[in-house]
Structures are given as structure tokens and as C-alpha cells.
Amino acid sequence: MNTFKTTLITCQQCGRRIMVRAADAERGTIACSHIGCGIVNNLRTDFHYDEAVVNGLPSFGSLTYLENPETKFDLRFGPNVIGTGNLCTVRIDRFEHDGRCFISRQHCTLTVTFDKWTGKLRYHIQDGALDADTQSMRYSLNGTMRNGTPLLKTEIIDVSDGDIITLGGADRFRLTTATIPLPTLATYKVDLAFNPDRTQ
Ligand SMILES: [Zn+2]
């Protein structure tokens, strides 16, 4: 891959032009040649993805109720408060077992975020939800589990595609995550530093 052509970049400190040769690009750094400057410029091709990519996505995944797989609950970007209460972003039916429902009104919070370095959606879950009045967490009565392991209060853990989330020890949901198509992602790539292919 020795297609590198000698090129000019703008010094990150003094703003004057510096000649970059293949050896500099290979090393990944170049010291500014101008008198009175001399700082080392980073030539690595760093990039991230613009979070605006999430605005156009058709889906952020869903939870499938395992006792009746036709029942699905869509997730949205950001925090999803899951429970039987009216104010929940993911409002679950009052599933009853021998006449009792074990899911709290605000049972747990599943948050979807965007990792700008990998371009992937990330999912994490915690028991309870933030109380709007007191601005503190209120936990569920009967607890939340991931793949059969109870979450500790105050614990925030990552969840992945196919993970089973159990609410109140009785109702199981399978997480289906969403992925961003690579061609879509590519159009939101942001170069952060020197890229010889794009410098004249
Ligand atoms: Zn300089």
C-alpha cells in the first residue's frame, strides 16, 4: 500500500503549510518545519460518526414478550422507562399470574445510546426509574434480571441482542437490538485529523 504522494498539510499550531512525505505518514507524526513553531503534528486518520445518523433510523429495537411472542414493545432512542404506568415510554400490559401482577408501574429503564467511535447503538439497563419529583431513583418492587441474574440496585449493565430481561421474576422479554446499515453510517463519518487522501 505505498501509494502515498507527497502532500501539504496545514500546521495545527501556526497554520502554515508543511510538506508531508511518505516516511512522515508512515511514522504518523511530523514536526512543523517553520521557525518559531516546531510542534509535532499528528497524522493519524482519526474519525468518529455524527450522532445525527440516528435521526433517520426506522427502528431502535424491541422487546418480545416470551410468554406470548406476538406481543412486542418498540424501543426509542434515549431512556425507555418500562412498566405498567401511564407515564412509561414502554407501557407493558398488567400480565397477571394467579391474579397478581409482578411488574411495577415504573419497573426499569433501558437506555439506547449511540457510540460515536464504533458507530453502533448501545443498550444498557438498570432497575427502577428516575422519579421526576425527587430526582432520585425509585426501584421496582420485585426486581429485574438479565439472563437470569438479578440486577443490583444502582447497577447499570450492558444488554445485547438476544438477552432475556425478566421483570418481577415472572415475565420474560427478549431484547432485539437495531443496527445501523454500513452505507448509511459511512455518510455520517467525520474525519477528525489529517487524512492524506483528502488533503490537496
Ligand atoms: Zn507550525
Query: From ligand 1's centre to the CA of 49, what distance in Å?
Result: 28
**CB neighbours of residue 108 within 10 Å:** 26
pLDDT in tens, 130-166: 988 899 999 999 999 999 999 998 899 999 999 999 9
Same domain for 81 and 147?
Answer: yes
Same domain for 19 and 109?
Answer: no
Per-residue confidence (pLDDT) for residue 22, from 0 to 100: 86
Q: How confident is the model at residue 6 (pLDDT cuts 50, 70, 90)?
A: confident
Same domain for 84 and 113?
Answer: yes
Q: How far apart are CA 169 and CA 76, in angstroms?
A: 24
Same domain for 38 and 110?
Answer: no
Query: From ligand 1's centre to the CA of 29, what distance in Å?
Result: 13
pLDDT in tens, 41-61: 888 767 889 999 999 899 999
Same domain for 177 and 105?
Answer: yes
Q: What secondary structure letter does DSSP report for 53?
A: G
**Partners of residue 41 on adjacent β-strands:** 30
Same domain for 108 and 22?
Answer: no
Residue 131 within any structural domain of the chain: yes
Handedness of CA 132, 138, 141, 143 (dihedral sign): positive
Dihedrals phi, psi of 7, to nearest 5 degrees: -145, 170
Length of the chain: 200
Q: Which three cell numbers stand for residue 177?
A: 437490538
Residue 190 within any structural domain of the chain: no
Residue 108 within any structural domain of the chain: yes
Task: Tell me how many domains the chain contains.
Answer: 2
Q: What is the CATH number of the domain that holds 70?
A: 2.60.200.20
* First-residue to last-residue Cα distance in the chain: 19
Show the domain range for 100.
Answer: 52-182
Query: From ligand 1's centre to the CA of 2, what distance in Å?
Result: 27
Query: From ligand 1's centre to the CA of 91, what distance in Å?
Result: 58
